[in-house]
Amino acid sequence: MINAGIYPNDILVVDRSIEPVAGKIVICALNGELTVKRLERDNGQWQLQSENPDYPDIALHEDLEMVIWGVVTNAIHPL
């Protein structure tokens, strides 16, 4: 998530009361593994968009098991 200003070892502040809508950065469990991605909708298709060119975007479909845990509101960088 480097292009979104989130770097390794950052602490993320997550608000579970914010609705996860297109454009928000979310933490989700995808097939049992945690990931941080930007939630987007393109031509009616939901996807988890990577903000790092080293990682692919993930198109969401019925075969995936996904639970959105919350919306990232802040990133705290270590000094």
Task: Please say whether the beta carbons of 63 and 49 come within 8 A.
Answer: no
Q: Which residue has the tokens 């903000």?
A: 51
Domains (range + CATH), the chain: 2-76 (2.10.109.10)
Task: Please say whether the beta carbons of 69 and 16 come within 8 A.
Answer: yes
Question: What is the value of pTM for the model shown?
Answer: 0.87
Strand partners, 34: 29
Task: Please say whether the beta carbons of 9 and 78 come within 8 A.
Answer: yes
Confidence of residue 79 (pLDDT cuts 50, 70, 90): confident
Q: Tally helices (H) and strands (E) across the chain.
A: 0, 6
HSE-up of residue 21 (Cα within 13 Å, Cβ side)? 3
Tell me what pLDDT residue 7 has. 93
